[in-house]
Amino acid sequence: MTLVLEVDVDSGVPVYEQIRGQVVAHVAAGRLHPGDRLPTIRALAADLGIAPGTVAHAFRELEQAGVLATRRRTGTVVAQGATPADTGPRRAAQAYVRQVRAAGLSDEEAVALVRGALLGTP
C-alpha cells in the first residue's frame, strides 16, 4: 500500500505542522522504517501544490527531532534512531482506532479522547 500525505490548506493547523505530524505518525505506526527514502522536497511540494519552503520547514523540524536524516547520495531518509512505538501500545492504538470507527467518531473526537485520557492520567 502506498503511504499518502494529506494536508488541508484551509485548516487552522499550519501545513508544515500537518506534514510533520503525519510523517511522525507513519513512523510511530511502523509504516515507515529506518532507511526508507522519502520524496524530495520539490516533489512533495509539487504534488501538494504548496511552496517548497513549507515542506523544507517540516523536514527541518523532523531532522532536528531525529525522525529524518538527509544524506548527500540517497536524499532524505527515515533516521536509524526513529523507531516505531512499542508493540503493545501500537496494537492498543490500532484497536482503539477500530473502536472509534465502529462508534462513528470523527478523527478529531478520537484524538480529543486520547488527549483527555493523557490529561487525566499522571
Partner 1 sequence: MAASFVALAGLVLFVLVPLAVLVTVTVVVARAGRRAAASPTEVPLRDAPAAYRRAVVHARTTAWASWALLVGASVAVGMVAATVPGGFAPEAFGAPTASAGLVFLAACAVGELTWPTPDGPVRRAPLQVRTVDTVTPRGLRRLVWAWAALLVVTLVATGVTGARGTELTLRFGTEATSTASPYPGWRYGLPLMAAALVVVAACEAVLRLVARRPAVADTAPDDDRRLRRVSARRVLAAVQLVLAITAATVLAVTANATRAAASARGGSTTALSTQPPSVDVVAAVLGVVAGLLAVAVLVTGVVVTVVALARAANEAGRPVTPPPAVAGSAEPAGAPS
Enumerate residues 53-72 that contact partner 1 by CB under 8 A: 61-62, 65-67
9 binds partner 1 (CB under 8 A): yes
> Is residue 37 involved in binding partner 1 (CB under 8 A)?
yes
Q: HSE on the CB side for 122, CA within 13 Å? A: 0
Judge contact between 97 and 61, C-beta under 8 A: no
Measure the CA dihedral 16/22/23/27, to 10°: 160
Q: With contacts defined by CB under 8 A, how many residues of the chain interact with partner 1?
A: 50
| Residue with Cβ nearer partner 1 (6 or 95) | 6
Q: How far is residue 68's CA from residue 44's CA, in Å, rounded to a whole number? A: 15
Give the residues lining the site for partner 1 (CB under 8 A). Answer: 1-10, 13, 17-18, 20-29, 31-32, 37-40, 42-44, 46-50, 61-62, 65-67, 75, 82-83, 85, 107-108, 110-111
